[in-house]
Structure 1
Amino acid sequence: MKNFVLIILGLFLTINVFAQDDKENVFVIVEDMPVYPGGEEALRNDIAALVKYPVAAKENGIHGKIYITFVVNEEGKIEDAKIARGVDPSLDKEALRVMNALDKTWKPGKQKGVAVKVSYTVPINFALDREAAKEEKTSHGEGVNQVFFIVEDMPEFPGGDEALREYIANSVTYPDVAKKDKIQGKVYVTFVVEKDGSVGETKIARGVDPSLDKEALRVIKNLPLWKPGKQRGEPVRVQYTVPINFALN
């Protein structure tokens, strides 16, 4: 029996507001999102079944959350998997191995009826005790208040991906104190799109500086209503994480 707990925290879409690699044609939100065979639960189970907690990491009490970014290509295959935020070389290596070992073919994402590449980030939490699993289960809840990460009909921002980027870019005001002190970096904001399309629980997943974090939260909390996500025809709560890159020219 494994003496550790592996928590698959779910998928989140990544949006870099101020930079987009059009040459690669990688989307972050599309009309028809990619779907893993069997859905989100099957993906979690498959990842958990493949993971082998590195012996050295267990012996040294090393644990933590790893963010892996990858692309689901037009054929439904995973490509360009890389560590977005690591913890330890041994855990990072294992997380990448597992992601690259997933050999099932996704239903590819589509934009305007055409299969396209879509970027995802998967946080995987390597934990050495069962309490972490209990906390994770409690934090996301079950039943009517359950928070999903992938659903059959993903939430849609009015006007789509491009409109979301433009809205955030136009709404952000670079804090004077941050400009003065030349503070810059990428702030990760996690939020829930509620059943009515409103933005619910919002928090900093990874901050840079209090002034930038505060501004990022302000912008996300003021997003207009989305078209809510649906699972089996019913509106559900869906979690997103948006990285906002504050850069000084």
Structure 2
Amino acid sequence: MKALKLFVSLLFTITFFAVNVNAQEKLKNKDDIYFIVEEMPEYPGGENVLRDDIANEVKYPKEAVTKCIQGKVYVTFIVNEEGKVSDATIARGVDPLLDKEALRVVSILKTWTPGKEKGKAVKVSYTVPINFALGYGKATETSNEVTAKKDGDVFFIVEEMPEFPGGDEALRKFIVEKVKYPEEAQKNGIQGKVYVTFVVAEDGSVIRSKIARGVDPSLDKEALRVINSLPIWKPGKQRGQTVKVAYTVPINFALNDDK
């Protein structure tokens, strides 16, 4: 019986590009768990290794395969002061079978370089989406990957992901420098995280931007303006051909405590 090839992808842009507009104040909850810090936690080898490690560890539950269950599981966890992963929970699940496997994989991640705030190691919250998708069409033993896509030819994950000029840190810096906190939102104490989805086209241009999850019209509008001003990317490639790839970027608008 020929092996069924399965596709497990990670959409790291959801978490790695989270931006705190106010660089002086870091968002944290009552348990001193930060969301953004001066030095974010780092996985050994970087984001690509984290992606590979999760993809290599995931085992698609047989029952889920039989029932054709697929979807994106969001796992939230804490990288503590020692760099250990703890308190993994399902932020948004798909099915108990997939949720359980996603939690198992996240719980065995290697020790990270912990995040730091003002030179001190602190707890930092992360959310990692793991996309469980069964291959379309007939899979063969010689096929090493099956790529999921939506809306015709827009991919979620490809062999060569699009790259912002200068990399992830440059993208984060660009957004921080370009965002202007709307005066109306400041006066009304409006803050929160706006999720913007867009497509990196074959020529590297940013198209089809829209609000995936908004906070307030004023913040949503500003988030869209910044994303629409992004420069040309290095386009993503699948099997040697440039393709459209979907991205989701959260932009966190946060006010000072004294404002």
TM over 0.5: yes
Unaligned runs of 5+ in 2: 22-26, 136-145, 199-205, 228-246, 254-259
Counterparts of residues 1-249 of structure 1 (less than 5 Å):
1-10=3-12, 12=15, 22-102=29-109, 104-129=110-135, 130-132=146-148, 135-137=155-157, 141-142=161-162, 148=168, 151=169, 155=173, 157=176, 170=186, 189-190=195-196, 202-206=209-213, 217-222=220-225, 240-242=249-251
Contact residue 68 and residue 84 of structure 1 kept, 8 A: yes
Aligned residue type for 2:147: E
Q: Which structure dedicates a bigger proportion of its chain to helix?
A: 1
Distance 2:119 2:40 in 1: 11
Count of aligned residue pairs for this structure pair? 203
CA contact (8 A) 2:184 2:218 kept: no
Question: C-alpha deviations, 1:57-104, integer Å up to 9, x for none?
Answer: 1111111111111111111011111111111111111101110121x1
Please give the alpha-carbon distance, in whole angstroms, between the structure 2 residues aligned to 1:171 and 1:131. Answer: 46
**3-state secondary structure, aligned to 2:121:** strand
- Measured in 2, the distance between the counterparts of 1:65 and 1:120 equals 16
What RMSD, in angstroms, separates the aligned Cα atoms of the two structures?
4.4
Cα distance in 2 for partners of 1:98, 1:165 equals 38
Q: Which protein has the larger Cα radius of gyration, Structure 1 or Structure 2? A: 2
1:75 is paired with a residue of what secondary structure? coil
| Closer, same or farther: CA 112–6 of 1 in aligned 2, 3 Å | same
Alpha-carbon spacing, 1:2–1:73, altered in 2? closer, same or farther (3 Å)? farther
Whole-angstrom CA distance in 2 between matches of 1:157 and 1:33: 15
Look up the SS of the partner of 2:127 in the other structure.
Answer: strand
Counterpart code for 1:3:
K
Amino acid at match of 1:131: T
* Residue 107 of structure 1, CA deviation: 0.6
- CA deviations on 1:158-192 (whole Å, 9 max, x unpaired) are 6xxxx999989627798xxxxxxxxxxx9851368
